[in-house]
């Protein structure tokens, strides 16, 4: 695998610059005061911004982060555009990727979404060509360079961990790109896989977040394999936010369980502990959850009997 570095992608930078002009305030969460001041300067400097498209990114289907999933869907769309951003290079492939996403509910990708997103290339081009954004991008380029220097040792460590994961888990991923955007929320991490390349996007560099997104595609086949056992599990899973359940349908239950497994595996590989048998690892988690839910059920029965 080639050397891992922190980069930016102007099209994604333009998305969050536009959201900033539309009232996006998640940039301030757990960010340095000087960084917040710089970002707010670009928000206040922009004038006459056309928010007719980007103001509709914010929705009400995800309480903890109302910009999910539309902001992530726009990030994905940037990989399906012509280089001049005049239109989609493969709209059908983009639509297929969104429709096949297991962490997006049907209501979040309904006809209203497709009628809206078709205008993305034109709206994006307006931002990319604006003088306010060009000034911002110059500043962001310098920020990205600073991030590479700041996280140099961590980037070397994560490269060693990923090399081991690729070897141990027969991963098809050969290239990892870490796309950071300082405006994006600290706790929002997304990824896009193109053949053997994983593009990770976030608002801040966290080694665990990069590993987390990488491990999703490693764990997913094993979750699918144990689908029947997962569907029998009681919920909720420890520390998994309700938004992961997507309304509690089959995809939602599998999505929440996968998130739970990935979090546990991320903790292990971050500490350089690499389970040799992932099938057995997932099986063990299912067994542990069975005991956990059984104990909780017994406790509830005892409480009811006392009452």
- Indicate the domain borders of the chain: 6-202, 207-306
**Residue environment code for 123-156, b if the CB has 16+ CB neighbours within 10 A, otherwise e:** bbbbbbebebbeebeeebeebbeebbeebeeebe
pLDDT value at residue 124: 97
Helix (H) or strand (E) holding 7: strand 6-7
Q: Decide if 15 contacts 75 (C-beta within 8 A).
A: yes
Helix (DSSP H) and strand (DSSP E) numbers for the chain: 12, 4
- Determine how many CB atoms are found less than 10 A away from the CB of residue 304: 8
* Distance of alpha carbon 231 from the chain centroid: 24
Q: Decide if 254 contacts 223 (C-beta within 8 A).
A: yes
pLDDT tens-place string over residues 191-245: 999 888 999 999 999 999 999 999 998 999 999 999 999 998 876 788 888 888 8
For residue 17, give Cα distances in angstroms to 55, 57, 71: 12, 13, 12
Coil, helix or strand for 86? coil
pLDDT value at residue 258: 95
Q: Decide if 214 contacts 190 (C-beta within 8 A).
A: no
Instruction: Collect all residues with Cβ–Cβ distance below 8 Å to 304 and sequence separation of at least 6.
Output: none
Helix (H) or strand (E) holding 116: helix 111-117
Which residues are 198's β-sheet partners? 176, 193
pLDDT value at residue 85: 67
- Residue 8 and residue 145: Cα distance in Å, rounded? 10
Among the listed residues 243, 254, 255, the one whose alpha carbon sits nearest the alpha carbon of residue 65: 243
Bridge pairing between strands 6-7 and 175-180: parallel
pLDDT value at residue 291: 61
pTM of the model: 0.84
- Determine how many CB atoms are found less than 10 A away from the CB of residue 278: 19
DSSP assignment letter at 81 = B
- Residue 172 and residue 191: Cα distance in Å, rounded? 15
3-state helix, strand, coil in the chain (%, to 5): 60, 5, 30
pLDDT along the chain (307 residues), means of 10: 90 98 96 97 86 97 95 98 88 97 92 98 96 98 98 94 91 91 96 91 95 92 93 83 83 92 95 94 90 48 44
């Amino acid at each position: 695998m080639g050397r891992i570095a922190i980069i930016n992608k102007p099209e994604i930078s333009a998305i969050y610059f536009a959201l900033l002009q539309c009232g996006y305030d998640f940039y301030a969460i757990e960010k340095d005061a000087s960084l917040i001041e710089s970002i707010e300067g670009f928000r206040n400097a922009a004038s006459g911004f056309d928010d007719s498209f980007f103001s509709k990114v914010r929705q009400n289907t995800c309480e903890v982060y109302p910009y999910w999933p539309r902001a992530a869907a726009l990030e994905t769309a940037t990989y399906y555009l012509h280089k001049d951003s005049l239109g989609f290079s493969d709209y059908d492939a983009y639509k297929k990727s969104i429709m096949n996403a297991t962490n997006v509910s049907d209501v979040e990708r309904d006809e209203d979404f497709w009628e809206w997103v078709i205008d993305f290339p034109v709206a994006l081009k307006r931002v990319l060509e604006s003088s306010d954004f060009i000034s911002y991008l110059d500043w962001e380029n310098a920020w990205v360079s600073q991030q590479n220097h700041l996280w140099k040792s961590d980037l070397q460590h994560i490269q060693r961990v990923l090399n081991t994961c690729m070897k141990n888990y027969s991963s098809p991923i050969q290239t990892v790109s870490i796309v950071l955007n300082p405006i994006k929320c600290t706790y929002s991490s997304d990824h896009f896989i193109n053949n053997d390349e994983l593009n990770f996007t976030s608002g801040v560099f966290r080694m665990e977040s990069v590993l987390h997104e990488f491990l999703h595609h490693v764990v997913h086949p094993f979750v699918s394999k144990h689908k029947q056992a997962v569907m029998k599990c009681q919920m909720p899973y420890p520390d998994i936010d309700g938004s992961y359940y997507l309304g509690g349908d089959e995809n939602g239950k599998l999505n929440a369980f996968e998130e739970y497994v990935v979090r546990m595996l991320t903790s292990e590989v971050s500490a350089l502990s690499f389970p040799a048998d992932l099938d057995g690892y997932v099986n063990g988690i299912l067994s542990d959850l069975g005991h956990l839910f059984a104990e909780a059920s017994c406790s509830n029965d005892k409480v009811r009997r006392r009452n």
